[in-house]
Amino acid sequence: MSYDLPQRPRRNRQSAAVRGLVRETHLTPSHLIYPLFVLDGESRREPIESMPGIDRVTEDHALWEIESAMELGVSSFVLFPAVNDDLKDTKATYGLSRDNFYCRVARAIKKRFPEAWLMSDVAMDPYSSDGHDGVVREGHIVNDVTLPILAEMAVLQAEAGFDSIGPSDMMDGRVGVIRDALDAAGYSDTSILSYTAKYASAYYGPFRDALESAPKHGDKKTYQMDPANRMEALREAELDMAEGADILMVKPALCYLDVILALKELSDRPIAAYNVSGEYAMLKAAAEKGWIDYDKAMPEMLLSIHRAGADVILTYFAKEYAQLYGTWNG
């Protein structure tokens, strides 16, 4: 029996060759940013229990990680500092020191690999004894007092060689203040990849384990966004664009694919998405239990983020994806 059907979409699925011809979305290692957690000292790797395969590393191991990633085609990186508690205070003073190990590692990376693209993290929480992204006074996060601290931190990071500044704090007005500070200091070519829509998500737990940066009191809901809100992300995007952001980011990614699409349709700037630690951990855990085919599920996860509109993806899967990509295209 045969029917006179006007269209038969299955014709374009009959072989790997034709599926390749009509494939709409292509994700390469060059679309990925690989996050690294860096430590002070040397010759140390500290596994992060909640993020299998990811370690906190000292400068020497960070250089090795970057070299091995670049050999696979990943050339963009973001650094996060794991700071000892004895260096933390309420004003994030250590983050404003030219001699802090975070800036020192960045200088070493750019000296060894000048072709690598390096993104910073601008926020108080890695350096704050309060564990918040802004100055805390009487239990409140004080927005405008925080802004000059973030601007000073951004200039120091640009001076250390970071190609792009990543304000992750979600303070109002910080992109414009940082842009003005960078320009005034002579860093007009240093870009800003803004955490435009950073939600108060339950998926950040392993990251906070990695940096031991969870808030000491309260939560971050007065500055990170409500997961229920989509239009608010569009307002944040319009503000960040007006203030000079070069790339807009949504964090997390998987539960916010609709937000990624909305920003892509709104903006003429590239859109980034952060495939966060909890998303990484849950896939690793399911694979460890044998409940999912990791080598198929991991690329599918990243492809969905790219298909939704993310031009750039920050992901702990970057090296593993690049290895698989090499086998597909080798």
Distance CA 91, CA 102 (A): 17
Per-residue pLDDT, 214: 67
Per-residue pLDDT, 9: 94
What range does the domain containing 157 cover? 25-329
Q: Is 110 a catalytic residue?
A: no
Distance CA 201, CA 168 (A): 14
The one catalytic residue among 198, 220, 284, 319: 198
Listed as ranges, residues in the chain with pLDDT below 70 are: 211, 213-215, 218, 329-330
Per-residue pLDDT, 218: 67
Partners of 312 in beta bridges: 272
Q: What is the CATH number of the domain that holds 89?
A: 3.20.20.70
Report if residue 16 sits inside a domain.
Answer: no
Report if residue 18 sits inside a domain.
Answer: no
Report how many domains make up the chain.
1
Report if residue 17 sits inside a domain.
Answer: no
- How many C-beta neighbours within 10 Å does residue 71 have? 11
Report if residue 192 sits inside a domain.
Answer: yes
Q: Is 251 a catalytic residue?
A: yes
Q: For the CA atoms of 80, 279, 208, 115, what is the dihedral angle to 10 degrees?
A: 0
Asked if 263 and 272 count as a contact pair (C-beta separation under 8 A), the reply is no
Asked if 82 and 39 count as a contact pair (C-beta separation under 8 A), the reply is yes
Q: Which tokens is 75 given?
A: 């050339």
Q: Which tokens is 161 given?
A: 């060689």
Residue 26, classified by CB atoms within 10 Å of its CB into exposed (0-12), middle (13-18) or buried (19+), is exposed
Report if residue 7 sits inside a domain.
Answer: no
Report if residue 201 sits inside a domain.
Answer: yes
pLDDT digits (tens, 9 = 90+) for 189-243: 999 999 999 999 999 988 877 767 666 776 888 889 999 999 999 999 999 999 9
Report if residue 199 sits inside a domain.
Answer: yes
- What pTM was computed for the model? 0.95
Report if residue 13 sits inside a domain.
Answer: no
Q: Which tokens is 229 given?
A: 């809100």
